[in-house]
Structure 1
């Protein structure tokens, strides 16, 4: 970046110490700025939290990220952690439906079938459901230029049985929401592109699916990456980018080049980057478009990690399963972490991670951890056999997952256009352009670059 920008932005305030704020601190520091990071909690990392216990590595938040998104891998490499990168193992994926764990058809990509015979032979769907899914090959395009829900898009193209049994459990888990609410433009715009190009999702996804490479075993082709020490190592590696760290510090408001703290103190900065939770944007900025983002729906969830002797877990060959809503189970999924990420558990041990659906969180939120863990285990035992755990760990994620509802793209565009009028203030984070870790890092880099460009104009 230009020397002019370094001189112009020698003091930057970043509000929020999750992965987005930490990445913003890194990119600003790399440009030569003095970085002040302000965080309301008493720790950094946001949703990322790694705990070490009895030889286990417990990821209570994200456990990895999509390898196909390069920005986070580049950041990890720049931080000197490339030798710590590990790729997830793969295996058979399952869906629990009609009181049984059933294999996901081979060739399914995000719930979209791309191979004929696996779809014909699977016991996951009835023949009526299979025939209805085949209509995708002939029906006209569903998306007509205006945002619609994922539910309407997929149900029209592939039918209710495929949606309820496979697509909904897979896709809704990413956002911890419901397909009826989620915007196709903001969550999976690639499906719009495929439909516009080939009309049929099945044919379009089939064309995009790369052939299996000769000599490459399935266990070597995992789509996710993580860090062997745990993602907490990424948080610690980013910490030195911060020149001045202010934990347990509340901000009352933000104005161009000015931060007002809860105690009434006011400080001036050359640039300010908001990497805070979406509910804070409205109170901090005060304009209607920010208030709109703060008012958008957010959902909660809980994760329960349970460690076992491996002999006490009746696990099939694979990395876990999702659970169809029709089964009435409080769990939405269970990951066999010791199979997906072997580095997380000692040899001879098993580590299971259960996800409690958002609709069950309000009734459990104020229960003791042991009660929540016992409840989760009782739900798990409806599906598979497990013995007595060596220990459990409960993590609550309350109102942390922003919902990209229909019209979200337009709300974000209005917010960003309004923020352009605020000199020296940028925003980034999961509420804007993606909830995954790489998306958050991309957002942070974009915010720092925008500060650079906007300040360069004034020099």
Structure 2
């Protein structure tokens, strides 16, 4: 503590770490915050750069609009006027070699409308005939967490898993349905699995209970989601240090000691409290000595890698301009591209920036596909352009391209994930002045990361100011 000011170090300059810094500073003037990040820039997986002269996200391109934390943070740091809604969210699935519409009434790929499913043509006649058997089969007993594939396969058959569930989960987690946790990735379906005999009935109830006037599912920023980190950093008033890797973390009599810098010339940083906003492997390494129980659990969280190829075509390269927001590709199709987003259709402000361009993004790489991602940038661009030629009939080369690699970027919420997170937090809880946040815990999206940051900041402020005076200054930090 310096004078009457408490010093909090946030390790990690992604959106979770920056949001934690912002919430800590909003808690009161008695907090000095330093953010340390080993990369050369802040923002983590939120980053935008120009493609054909237009700023286009290289990482996450949107955030959930129906969950408030991300939008609220954007507004509070001065980006409220920059929020943009999609022009369309109508997506498709490339199934059995043909681009087909996503069936209406699905819940993370789980169908609720048999007629819409039939019209989509995604399943074969045999696969379609298997789905309604869910209504007469005996109940599938689910008393503990199971994989998404195990439960949905038992209720609706293999094709629903292969051609609807797998592409949905692959788009979000770059993971595999036979490993991902039902409880962690589909909590609504998981709850129904414990109370409803029929999954089809449960999906219908979820759709019926969904608000009909909730507006678009997603939103973005005019300059891309990559513009959010710098705005949060500036509004936080924190000291931001990039290119600084924290090598060690240890308890002291009054707080925490962090060791940074090269081994021959280390830098020691003293802090009253620490927030770890780094991926699970880094958090595991830093907690190994002081909180070995949490470190062991964090070490078991696996990460998937992926790459995004962004292409900018002249509009005339498309025989017919795309009309939907994009499409997903089931792994069973055995194509390198797992998803394509027609950014210029999904986000009309990109068209305003250059009406003569169509900008799109192709996503490559799922868990276990590291060999694909080891190819040269030129090869990945070739795979993406070949995909567009085959599926959309695009002719000629793109005007510009960009390859962005996200190595080890997506935590896998495998079976038992929620219990693992509970054990991590239980191990961290007795440690005064220590908190964790980020995508490894409660969700990969921006609002979920911001929520964990807010909780971490409230925990630290509770430790630094047990009377709650700072929290009363700003009800943003009041814990519900």
Normalised TM-score (structure 1) = 0.91
Secondary structure of 2:49's partner?
strand
Question: Do 1:299 and 1:398's aligned partners in 2 also have CA atoms closer than 8 Å?
Answer: yes
Unaligned runs of 5+ in 2: 469-480
Mapping for residues 172-183 of structure 1, pairs under 5 Å? 172-183=170-181
Q: Aligned match of 1:248 in 240, 243, 266? A: 243
Secondary structure of 1:134's partner?
helix
After superposition, the C-alpha distances for 1:393-452 in whole angstroms (9 at most, x for unaligned) are 000010111111112222211111111222111111111111111110000000011122
- Over 3 Å counting, the alpha-carbon distance change for 1:213 and 1:188 in structure 2 is closer
Per the TM alignment, residue 359 of structure 1 is displaced from its structure 2 partner at its CA by: 5.9
1:384 aligns with 2:392: yes
Secondary structure of 2:194's partner?
helix
Secondary structure of 1:225's partner?
strand
1:396 aligns with 2:391: no
Give, in whole Å, the separation in 2 of the partners of 1:98 and 1:364.
Answer: 22
Per the TM alignment, residue 26 of structure 1 is displaced from its structure 2 partner at its CA by: 0.5
1:293 aligns with 2:298: yes
1:26 aligns with 2:31: no
Per the TM alignment, residue 6 of structure 1 is displaced from its structure 2 partner at its CA by: 13
Give, in whole Å, the separation in 2 of the partners of 1:191 and 1:359.
Answer: 23
Give, in whole Å, the separation in 2 of the partners of 1:43 and 1:171.
Answer: 29
Question: Do 2:51 and 2:400's aligned partners in 1 also have CA atoms closer than 8 Å?
Answer: no
Q: Give the aligned CA root-mean-square deviation in angstroms.
A: 2.5
Give, in whole Å, the separation in 1 of the partners of 2:210 and 2:244.
Answer: 51
Q: Which residue of 2 aligns with 1:321?
A: 327
Per the TM alignment, residue 166 of structure 1 is displaced from its structure 2 partner at its CA by: 1.3
Per the TM alignment, residue 91 of structure 1 is displaced from its structure 2 partner at its CA by: 5.1
Give, in whole Å, the separation in 2 of the partners of 1:448 and 1:267.
Answer: 20
Question: Do 1:133 and 1:158's aligned partners in 2 also have CA atoms closer than 8 Å?
Answer: yes
Question: Do 1:17 and 1:38's aligned partners in 2 also have CA atoms closer than 8 Å?
Answer: yes
- Over 3 Å counting, the alpha-carbon distance change for 1:361 and 1:60 in structure 2 is farther
Question: Do 2:293 and 2:427's aligned partners in 1 also have CA atoms closer than 8 Å?
Answer: no
After superposition, the C-alpha distances for 1:13-58 in whole angstroms (9 at most, x for unaligned) are 0000000001001101111221101010110000011113444221
Give, in whole Å, the separation in 2 of the partners of 1:113 and 1:361.
Answer: 28
Give, in whole Å, the separation in 1 of the partners of 2:377 and 2:300.
Answer: 30
Q: Which residue of 1 aligns with 2:224?
A: 230
Give, in whole Å, the separation in 2 of the partners of 1:295 and 1:194.
Answer: 28
Q: Which stretch of structure 1 is more off in the superposition, 63-72 or 127-136?
A: 127-136
- Over 3 Å counting, the alpha-carbon distance change for 1:7 and 1:189 in structure 2 is farther
Mapping for residues 51-66 of structure 1, pairs under 5 Å? 51-66=49-64
- Over 3 Å counting, the alpha-carbon distance change for 1:27 and 1:8 in structure 2 is farther
Secondary structure of 2:391's partner?
coil
Secondary structure of 1:401's partner?
strand
Give, in whole Å, the separation in 1 of the partners of 2:141 and 2:66.
Answer: 26
- Over 3 Å counting, the alpha-carbon distance change for 1:452 and 1:141 in structure 2 is farther
- Over 3 Å counting, the alpha-carbon distance change for 1:91 and 1:237 in structure 2 is closer
- Over 3 Å counting, the alpha-carbon distance change for 1:327 and 1:367 in structure 2 is closer
Q: Aligned match of 2:364 in 320, 335, 356? A: 356
Q: Which residue of 2 aligns with 1:130?
A: 128
Per the TM alignment, residue 126 of structure 1 is displaced from its structure 2 partner at its CA by: 2.5
Question: Do 2:47 and 2:57's aligned partners in 1 also have CA atoms closer than 8 Å?
Answer: yes
Question: Do 1:143 and 1:153's aligned partners in 2 also have CA atoms closer than 8 Å?
Answer: no
After superposition, the C-alpha distances for 1:171-216 in whole angstroms (9 at most, x for unaligned) are 23211110111011222111112333443332223233259999x9
Question: Do 1:297 and 1:403's aligned partners in 2 also have CA atoms closer than 8 Å?
Answer: yes
Q: How many pairs are equivalent?
A: 451
1:109 aligns with 2:107: yes
Per the TM alignment, residue 170 of structure 1 is displaced from its structure 2 partner at its CA by: 1.2
Per the TM alignment, residue 327 of structure 1 is displaced from its structure 2 partner at its CA by: 1.6
Secondary structure of 1:302's partner?
strand
- Over 3 Å counting, the alpha-carbon distance change for 1:196 and 1:147 in structure 2 is closer
Give, in whole Å, the separation in 2 of the partners of 1:150 and 1:119.
Answer: 20
- Over 3 Å counting, the alpha-carbon distance change for 1:415 and 1:38 in structure 2 is same
Normalised TM-score (structure 2) = 0.88
